[in-house]
Structure 1
């Protein structure tokens, strides 16, 4: 399992955006890089820097994905038919931890990874504890019976908004069906993601 060394809010300050959309993120009120020289503000980035930032922002948004895993996602996406940038988003959103996050039963992508690793999730009736498990269209993801009674799960479900339309969520059974592979415009990112720059970064 990969380990997130840096605090997530520190990552947001380095990138200059509230990557996960939290209003508690210090970057909202203190828009400067971390560290003793952060007060001088953000420097004008080069083309390479813009591409690197886009790659880091998309990778970090999905939690504890390692650079090796993310590069492999790009390689697999580039081999598939269609637009590589769209394929990258489709592959990221088909990860089990991302799907659990979209269902609204956890509050963060990091909590989704932990929820999956603790064996609280089933795919097509079988327990799966691998956060990077790749779903296929038509798969049904459900919460195990014991976890349905967790107060935090019930609270998250009640307070969460509408799910994206590429999954069909049933609150009563706490299960969701993966309806279709989403396009970039379908994904409710809190900040602008530019997967086309990720493609440019890796194809240099």
Structure 2
């Protein structure tokens, strides 16, 4: 098992939740955390503990992005007008790797990051290999021609494990996805309950 996969499953077990709603998640069999102390009975969680878990869960969901990148996204969300927690979700969903994952071009957020980094994705006809690249409303994200028949792409697009959200206009025949609008929290198909408001509280302490 690769480091990438083992890290992904460790996040699931540490959170005690099937973050990506995948059938292969170890949480489906064992809900306790990894390690020799994973089965210890947990006491009441403090406010700080709840905020920390909410941050780790949201950060982990997006392929466990770095703390530096995540906090930078939070800082930008705070500068925007409107609800900061909604802004945070909107910014995270505008990441190129998140769009590639939502469009079902690949099976996981981790695969999406790697897929972008390896140069398989075009944005408005131009190759972009930066996973954190932020798409804008109206941008068209496309799998480049030479990559459209890759097994990982064909398997992901044909999978019934999840649906594409309505803020993307996806054409799996052409392997394109148009970013139609910035989603609200309720629009995002998280398999588990996310609490971006607690993430805002965590950084606002």
- Report deviation, 1:42: 2.7
- Report deviation, 1:41: 2.9
Secondary structure of 2:59's match? helix
Counterpart of 1:144 in structure 2 is 144
- Report deviation, 1:180: 0.2
**Aligned residue pairs, count:** 202
- Report deviation, 1:4: 6.1
Matches of 2:176 and 2:79, distance apart in 1: 32
Structure 2, unaligned runs of 5 or more:
none
Give the TM-score taking structure 2 as reference length.
Answer: 0.93
Counterpart of 2:180 in structure 1 is 179
- Report deviation, 1:24: 2.2
| Contact 1:32–1:41 (8 Å) recurs in 2 | no
Are 1:197 and 2:204 an aligned pair?
Answer: no
Matches of 1:84 and 1:58, distance apart in 2: 15
Matches of 2:13 and 2:106, distance apart in 1: 24
Matches of 1:91 and 1:29, distance apart in 2: 33
Counterpart of 2:69 in structure 1 is 69
Farther-moved stretch of structure 1 (142-151 vs 27-36): 27-36
Matches of 2:19 and 2:80, distance apart in 1: 28
Q: RMSD across aligned C-alpha pairs, in angstroms?
A: 1.6
Q: Per-residue displacement from partner, 1:44-78 (whole Å, max 9, x unpaired)?
A: 21110000000000000001410011011000000
- Report deviation, 1:139: 0.4
Structure 1, unaligned runs of 5 or more:
none
Correspondence 1:95-174 to 2 at 5 A:
95-160=95-160, 161-174=162-175
Q: Per-residue displacement from partner, 1:90-137 (whole Å, max 9, x unpaired)?
A: 000000000000110100000001110111100000000000000000
